[in-house]
A and B are shown apart, each in its own frame.
Chain A
Amino acid sequence: MISQAQQHTISIEAQDRPATVERLLRVIRHRGYRLCRMAVESSQEDERIALSVTVASDKPVVLLQNQLSKLVDVSSVEITSAETNPLRISA
């Protein structure tokens, strides 16, 4: 049940290219995670984009971290929620 699912907050840094955000959101949905909150900050000068997303799922969040870090535009995916020890995977 989604109501019982654990929430995790993930910080993502990526290159700001066409469809970068759509790509991330698609992976979150398709891999079985519900989006609860999202904040996006893009900087035009260095073509970078930073996202903070809170997701809920019964599935281990590390599986989502793996899938997000595999995206070509993504440079880092960090799990920042209090429940979990911060993990960092370089893409």
Chain B
Amino acid sequence: MTGADLVVQTLANLGVKTIFGYPGGAIMPVYDAIHRGDVDHILCRNEQGAALAAVGFARACNDVGVCLATSGPGATNLITGLADAMLDSVPVVAITGQVASPLIGTDAFQEVDVLGLSLSVTKHSFLVEDASELQATLEEAFVLAKSGRPGPVLVDIPKDIQVASLLGGPASAEAEPAELIEEVALEQAVELIRNATQPILYVGGGVGMAGPAAVAELRNFADQAGIPSIVTLKGIGTLEDSRDLHLGMVGMHGTKAANLMVQESDLLIVAGARFDDRVTGKLDTFAPNASVVHFDIDHCEIGKLRHAHVGLLGDLTDGLKRLGEKLAEQSGADLTAWQQRAVTEKTNHQWRYDKPGESIYAPKLLKQLSDQLPEDSVVACDVGQHQMWVAQHMSFTQPYNHLSSGGLGTMGFGLPAAIGAQYSRPNACVVNVTGDGSFMMNVQELGTIRRYGLPVKILLLDNERLGMVRQWQQLFFEGRFSETILSDNPEFVTLASAFGIAGRTITRDDEIEQGLSDLVNSTGSYLLHVRIDAEENVWPLVPPGAANQQMMETAE
């Protein structure tokens, strides 16, 4: 067989059923092999769409997503998607065609140093230099993508290797098992937890990525320990909002209860989170009196931004279980007052949806959408105000159901991510919640929805603005609205109809119910275009350089 056949066969042998990509000159042999092979290829309409679809695929099923592109512009278009996967630790394998080995370094047609480009946006990357290494390299790419802290891995394959004659063999790529957390570290953690009177469980995206067993174990731990909890943007869904002691999202647009309580805590039990600046506000004012017990799979995160009194490095599921068992042996400090405080803060600072007027209040609409969606739905959002409203006002019962570009903040993430999720979760209702700015960033992926008849739902919140930037211009740039007014947007429903996608526009509060019903109950893809007030802001807001308790709640 050829190297190209080996690529496709190895993918199939590794259990890959779906890949997202776009053909071109230097990857043509692989596309020829796809034509006769056993892997379904989904043609996206820009390589960035393919990479972000692979991210959405991966995040919705907690397994590896695969994307494919040609050399040069194909590979450069992938880069944003790989950076997104890098910053959100998503297991993605990207395969790129490269000009033939003898032409590398000659500025050949569509030649770019993809290995060089990849260094800052991948966990690791390979240039296959010898055909005999091709299969082992692909297997290693999968192992690396999903072992330890997951991330994107790129394999660049010169064209001569794709056409080389090779023998393939059975392939395997098991993730390396995480090491067990050291007993002595757990003992130290137990000591701190027993003595804490105001502990907070600070949960990040790492818990979901550690797998459903880790999510279940974390829920057990939270139940048993009775410790009030907060989540990061990526931790949403790990703990259900219905828990009395769960205070919701922390940080710049977090809940008031979460931001107030975390600041007063005397112990942070951190699980798979990394003290991101959007969480901490001004770092040296974050939870100033708290000791830190930090679970992570990546040793670089322990002490990177905040000193950890105890670092718990390794297998989270096992570690939480053992920690819970140790805590059960002997009772700790009385948490009753702190628990009561959590319940009170949560009750006192519930979201309010009673905004007067006929216009559509986006938070209320998203709350209604959340209540109407079937239990196991996936929401992929874009980036900006609508993204924060999704995080604040929709409820998720699994982290795999909330796909949001957290680290990179990639506008244009949502539509391709929703497409990817629809493939890894074919029976789920998948909704892309987007804004008028973000939607146009990867609008070409409507072509992918049309091509494959995907039932992806699109909820477009249109304020004719780049809303989050507009909000900051209003609050921090004295109202100079530089390049954020999009009053010349296209007719979105007409645009969708050009791709055979049904839709309608709603502008008034009394149209919400029917609009959402049309969206959720459509059998195929549907675009619900929602006109909202351009002046609406996301509240609360921890302004830049402030401590988390210093939340702004109005523009005054």
A interface, CB within 8 angstroms of B? 17-19, 22-23, 26, 30, 63, 66-67, 69-73, 89
Contacts and interface: CB of A to CB of B under 8 A. Distances in A.
Contacts of A73: 124
Interface in B107-125: 115-116, 119-120, 123-125
A30 B120 contact: yes
Contacts of B303: 63
Nearest to B144: A72
A89 B302 CA distance: 14
Given A26-B120, A67-B300, 6 more contacts: A19-B119, A23-B119, A63-B300, A69-B299, A71-B124, A72-B124
B304 interface: yes
Contacts of B120: 26, 30
Contact of A63 (B119, B127, B304): B304
A86 B213 CA distance: 39
B300 A19 contact: no
Contact of A18 (B115, B123, B300): B115
A72 B299 contact: no
22 contacts: A18-B115, A18-B126, A18-B127, A18-B129, A19-B115, A19-B116, A19-B119, A19-B125, A22-B116, A22-B119, A26-B119, A30-B120, A63-B300, A63-B303, A66-B299, A66-B304, A67-B300, A69-B299, A71-B124, A72-B124, A72-B144, A73-B124
Interface of B: 115-116, 119-120, 123-127, 129, 144, 298-300, 303-304
Contacts of B126: 17-18
A29 to B, nearest CB: 10
Contacts of B299: 66, 69-70, 89
Contacts of B304: 63, 66
A26 B144 CA distance: 20
Contacts of B115: 18-19
A15 to B, nearest CB: 11
Contact of A72 (B123, B127, B129): B123
Nearest to B153: A72
Contact of A70 (B127, B129, B300): B300
A19 B125 CA distance: 9
A66 B300 contact: yes
A49 to B, nearest CB: 16
A17 B298 CA distance: 23
B473 to A, nearest CB: 30
